[in-house]
A and B are shown apart, each in its own frame.
Chain A
Amino acid sequence: MSDVVEKTLTALPSLLSLDSQPGSGKLSSTSKLGNLIRGITELTSKHEEEKLIQRELSSIKEQVASPNTSMRQMKELMVRAIYCEMLGYEASFSYIHAIKLAQQGTVLEKRVGYLAVSLFLNESHELLLLLVNTVLKDLQSTNLIEVCMALTVVSQMFPKDMIPAILPLVEEKLTHPKEIIRRKAVLALYKFYLIAPNQVQHIHNKFRKALCDKDPGVMTASLHIYLQMIKENPEGYKDLTASFVTILKQVVGGKLPMDFNYHSVPAPWLQIQLLRILSLLGKDDQSTSEMMYEVLDESLRRAEMNHNITYAILYECVKSIYTIHPKAELLEKAAKCIGNFVLSPKINLKYLGLKALTYVVQQDANLALQHQLTIIECLDHSDLVIKRETLELLFRITNAQNVTVIVEKMLEFLRLSKDDYTTIDLVGKVAELAEKYAPDNEWFIETMNTVFSLGGDMMQPDIPNSFLRLLSEGFDSTEEDRQLRLFAVDSYVSLLQGEPGRLPQRFLQVISWVLGEYSHLREGLEPATTLRLLAKLLDMKHTSSETKSWVLLAMSKLCEGPDCVSLAQELSERHGGSLDTVLRQRVQELRHLSEDAELRASVLPRDAAQEPLEVDSSLSFLDGFVSEALSAGAAPYKPPHQRQEELAQAKALSLEPYGLSLPISMSSCSLADRQSPTLLSMSSGLSGNSTDLSHKGGSTTLKLDGVKRVWGKDGYLAQKEPVEESAQVEVPSPLCSPSRQGGADSTHSQTPTPTPTPEPEKEKQQLASSLFVGLGSQSSVCLMGKSEQTPQRFRRKAKGQGSSSGASEQISNSHYSTQSTVDNLLCNNLLDSTVTSDLAVSTPEQTPQLSQEVATTNGTCDAEQDLIEETDPGNSPSLIRANSTVTADPPAHKDPDRPKDSCLSSHLPAELAGLSHSEIIPLCSSQNLDLSACHVQKEDALLLVIFIENSSDSDIEQMLLQTESDELEVSCVTDSPVEAVRSLSVSVYQYSLMVKRPAAHVALAGTASYQLPSGESQVMQFSYRLPLTSFIRPLCVSTEEYGTLWLAFSQDTKQNLALLNDGQDPLTATLDVLKNKLQLHVVDIIGAEGIVACRLLQGQPCLMHCRVHAGSLAVWLRSPVPDLPDCLLYHCQRALQEH
């Protein structure tokens, strides 16, 4: 009773004083908190607040520690402590009392205790362990509210290791009669699944039960778990698709209780959750996608009310529709939806519209074309968020023609943006675009200058790195290289003459490197001038010591003549005493090199940046030193892993028989004798260096230099171009896809050309034409339009194995395919050529999927085309096809690949018929021709066989196949290349392939040109990709030979591989798999070590040394060829994974 009295007394004055304030009538009775809050609001300074809170905290601290404090008072104290923490003051002393309160209080006090715990602690806090017992007790309580509280806290945080302790109790609650308990139990399990998925693996069937719960709330809760599980493994839950579709149908149809309505929309949260699940299930899966078309359509239709919640559903629907296997009808509706979003005056919807556009623009560039004016408006929007999203969209549609305008817009934004995150991201994007699409040298250098100045020292380090590599490696034409470097030098000299103090460190480093390397290219620029400019940098206050060493290195390259010697002397006096050892070293180098021109020429040869550095990684020049040391009694060198192992062995008992251990140590000794520290193997170029690859991709793309600036005065070029281009291939213009025509119409109607437009309007139009130029052609349906971009992609892909650019190629390829699918559906079947040109772009792996798509799209068209086509394409077997007139029909190439394979393989040349060949893959096709290919592995050669199948009833003349590849040497084997392909026959070309430069996958690109009977010539493009493994043959050597070879090779790579564990000896098993899959030769296996050898077709060897170590296989590869070890390693990994 005493508390009550105390409470009453303290409460009285505050309650009275509050009377005058509005809303005070219902203020809480926890008056001490009220006092505190009021006290704070009356304060004027932060300092006073601090004092007040500290006083408050010490009073709380005193009270919670007192044994006389009742739980009831404790509850009130906890609320105050929470408040203090919220204000940013630490009250960690109260944490333990919060746990105590949850443990000992009555229901009400417990509630506050649990709340305080959940606010004070996080998952990893050690005090949380003390809560486990309380939770256990409460889960078993008969009081429902206590059970609820325990489940609530468990769903928010629980120590991972203690899950097993309470799991059975939580599981039990899944069958509780009260739905609120079941629901919370499901959410608790969801939490467990998130933090420790293994621990709840055994109760997956109970999740299914929860999904079928009669209470919609419980079912909804279970969807959280399903969404997570399906995200991780969509294949495992395909069987549930029908159930999810049914549930969504019922929800959309309003079958749920009214309680679940939100602004008269039935259970929107549930709908969105289901849509997300469905899109994950339907992704890349046609048959599953087909199950959901109807309900998606229904959802789109029902969501018509003008309220945020319906837009939320629509947005999710649109996302699903574009994620799953496409269906034209739905895509059209979704596109309309996106249009409504973009055009909406509500800014939130506009933002989402832009986001959706960004998402779909690669599939359907026309959509961006339709909204070009809106996009332009958004670009100048006062809200930076909108601007930023618009730039993201523009980034996706950038091509060689609009790059300058888009990059300019991005740089404009960068100058405004204050946020580091945005800057880093955008700077990276600008650099990427500049490397990919730069129209000329000047622009490229200037853009990169801006990138370096704006990006400062925050940007990712690979931007300057790849820029420098691009400069040093150059392109095909040396004149072009010279121009670019010269321009860079000029621009940097003038920058240094200005105010170099403002430039970021990274930029200064780039500048010094370029000047050091290339300033000799500029005639009339005295080295002394450059040196003085560089020396100025050393004196600046803000120059970091890292930059200083770059500067000094550049100076070392330049110093020539007596002036320089004295300058070097002076510098060495000034910096010779620097605390930074690197700097001191550099200054010394500079001084010595300036005095000895000969030495300098050999150490820093001019123009040698792109020459691969020959590093003797076996350190053979140290042999004398080593043998001397050994004879003087030094211990032989052991690599770290061996030392560790020996250390471990020294501690444990040796279980190996004595007889065996001797040769092991011998062999490892001889191998380990003269190893290099891996760091030195600089020249093993590929060693997982991704910037290297991406940059090489960039260098090839820069060849696009010749691309003219075609935007500007002409206005909406994008609309004009496709028509022109389609004229080139002589496809009658009505065949243009209606959607694009629609787009053109709508834009024309937006901007009636004849009427004079006001000035700002005109500006916008001009901007539009420069931004969206080239988009139409990219998405256009004609062959010629694409040919310009296709070769570039080939080259990039061929080089970009495993690099990010490679991945993005794949994505864009698949987008193209969908694009064409849509076009195809919309237009006529005659445009089959688009599909086939896409096939040409695709990689062999994608082909099955693509051709499947082709088959379906055509299938749909066929239904509409019954009148023209009398045959049923679905069951025209290829055997009949080969010699009946039916084959002239476009659907010829729709047949599944299988029968075609067997049919074509009969055309294999007799001498190859007995050998095993790869699957015959369609390369590309047109109305008349189908190209397919396979490769045949021979002992001493690898042959590429290309089949040209003429399916038309007229002969094809002047057939010419040309191939090119960066990685392969291709030579024609066929004696007299076929020049004409007779009607309905197959011609075969044979090429012998050799590896020029190893890559994990090697590819070749080619064109087939031919003349139709009408005299019109046609060009088709294709590519073929095959793994390096096809070129690998066993290399039979003895152990001794292996030993000598090993020491001779300099390119090496080390890595750990997984060890197979199927029964017998893991080493032998693993090596057997590699031997069988990759055709390696196992030279010897001794104990825990094995040596393996193989060679490339033309003979370059690669050696592999394997050792079982700590449960994995430590492999060490050596070869005389750069990149070969890395590529082989990649295939070893794959082979073991697939096993």
Chain B
Amino acid sequence: MQFMLLFSRQGKLRLQKWYVPLSDKEKKKITRELVQTVLARKPKMCSFLEWRDLKIVYKRYASLYFCCAIEDQDNELITLEIIHRYVELLDKYFGSVCELDIIFNFEKAYFILDEFLLGGEAQETSKKNVLKAIEQADLLQESEDEYLSVKIFK
């Protein structure tokens, strides 16, 4: 996989992960072009696009578009399922995830993505294992946050 973008129906970028080294300018250009192209497509249309020399696989979940760029010989359907598995992971972690969760906790979304995909390849496809890894790292944070929230509301 070359990169993954999450953006809203309004075209606001919510998450970006680049697995190939590109300059900021290129990244911005690609993002702008792709957001435009994908948003212009109708709901019943094909989830795959040929774009430059890459293949774009995208899927919409509620108000959020998930969009991955893969190489020509890669399997489009499995990429669609990668997106789906990522959404499942987010859902499980946040508990029925919505766009707001990802906006306000985008760093968490990144952590989950990094446990699932590493360097553009699926690293761990078992849902349980990914979440276990995240939870272990979160453990300390959670306890601190709990401590904090207790403080706030007392």
| Residues of chain A whose beta carbon lies under 8 Å from any beta carbon of chain B | 4, 7-8, 11-12, 15, 21, 23-24, 26-29, 33-34, 37, 79, 82-83, 86-88, 90, 107-108, 111-112, 115, 118-119, 122-124, 145, 148, 152, 155-157, 180, 183-184, 187, 190-191, 194, 217, 220-221, 224, 257, 259-260, 262, 267-270, 272, 308-309, 311-312, 315-316, 347-348, 350-352, 382-383, 385-386, 388, 421-422
Contact = CB atoms under 8 A, between A and B. Distances in A.
B61 interface: no
Interface in B19-45: 19, 21-22, 24, 28, 42, 44-45
B49 A385 contact: yes
Nearest to A21: B100
Given A8-B148, A156-B118, A385-B50, 17 more contacts: A11-B152, A15-B152, A86-B15, A86-B106, A87-B13, A145-B136, A145-B137, A155-B119, A180-B124, A220-B122, A259-B128, A312-B77, A315-B75, A316-B78, A347-B44, A385-B48, A421-B53
A662 B104 CA distance: 80
B123 A183 contact: yes
Contact of A108 (B53, B126, B133, B141): B141
A554 B93 CA distance: 72
Nearest to A157: B21
A479 to B, nearest CB: 44
Given A262-B81, A348-B80, A148 B133 contact: yes
B47 A348 contact: yes
11 contacts: A4-B151, A8-B148, A26-B94, A34-B104, A108-B144, A111-B137, A187-B119, A259-B127, A308-B77, A347-B46, A350-B46
Contacts of B145: 29
A348 B21 contact: no
B13 to A, nearest CB: 6
B22 to A, nearest CB: 7
A86 B16 contact: yes
Nearest to A7: B148
B148 to A, nearest CB: 6
B31 to A, nearest CB: 8
A155 B101 CA distance: 27
Contact of B46 (A86, A145, A220, A348): A348
B111 A115 contact: yes
Nearest to B33: A419
B149 interface: yes
Contacts of B152: 8, 11-12, 15, 29
Contacts of B46: 347-348, 350-351, 383, 385-386
A12 B151 CA distance: 11
A845 to B, nearest CB: 26
Contacts of A221: 121, 123
A122 B107 contact: no
Interface in B79-111: 80-81, 84-85, 94-95, 98, 100-101, 103-107, 110-111
Interface string B132-151: 01001100110011001101
Interface in B54-84: 75-78, 80-81, 84
Nearest to B47: A348
B119 A108 contact: no
A220 B148 CA distance: 40
Interface residues of B, number: 65
B118 A352 contact: no
A238 to B, nearest CB: 21
A270 B128 CA distance: 17
Contacts of A82: 106-107
B140 to A, nearest CB: 6
Given A79-B107, A111-B137, A187 B94 contact: no
B48 A351 contact: yes
Contacts of A33: 104
A184 B124 CA distance: 10
A264 to B, nearest CB: 13
A348 B47 CA distance: 6
A24 B125 CA distance: 30
Given A88-B28, A108-B141, A385-B45, A268 B78 contact: yes
B104 A28 contact: yes
Contacts of A422: 50
B78 A23 contact: no
B77 A352 contact: yes
A86 B52 contact: no
Given A28-B104, A145-B136, A191 B119 contact: yes
Nearest to A27: B104
Contacts of A180: 124, 129, 133
A11 B148 CA distance: 11
Contacts of A119: 16-17, 110
A87 B100 CA distance: 16
Contacts of A112: 107
Contacts of A28: 104-105
B126 A29 contact: no
Contacts of B48: 348, 351, 385
Cβ-closest 4 pairs across A and B: A312-B77, A122-B21, A259-B126, A312-B78
Contacts of B24: 90
Contacts of A190: 119, 121
A24 B122 CA distance: 32
Contacts of B125: 220, 260, 262, 267-270
A315 B77 contact: yes
B140 A8 contact: no
B91 to A, nearest CB: 13
B111 A217 contact: no
A304 to B, nearest CB: 16
Contacts of A194: 119
Contact of B76 (A224, A348, A383): A348
A123 B53 CA distance: 22
A871 B113 CA distance: 64
Contacts of B18: 122
A277 to B, nearest CB: 13
Contacts of B148: 4, 7-8, 29
A1127 to B, nearest CB: 34
B146 to A, nearest CB: 10
A886 B83 CA distance: 63
A790 to B, nearest CB: 32
Nearest to A316: B75
A83 B50 CA distance: 29
In this complex, the member of B98, B104, B128, B152 whose beta carbon has the largest number of chain A beta carbons within 10 angstroms is B104
Nearest to B115: A152
A1129 to B, nearest CB: 32
A584 to B, nearest CB: 39
A265 to B, nearest CB: 10
B32 to A, nearest CB: 9
B28 to A, nearest CB: 6
Contacts of A27: 100, 104
Nearest to A349: B77
A148 B48 CA distance: 34
A8 B137 CA distance: 24
Contacts of B137: 107, 111, 145, 148
A187 B44 contact: no
B50 A388 contact: yes
Contacts of B123: 183-184, 187, 221
A37 B13 CA distance: 13
A79 B129 CA distance: 26
Contacts of A26: 94-95, 101
A1025 to B, nearest CB: 32
B99 to A, nearest CB: 9
Contacts of B77: 308-309, 311-312, 315, 348, 352
A107 B121 CA distance: 26
Contact of B118 (A184, A312, A315): A184
A220 B94 CA distance: 28
Contacts of A388: 50
Contact of B110 (A21, A115, A155, A268): A115
Nearest to B133: A180
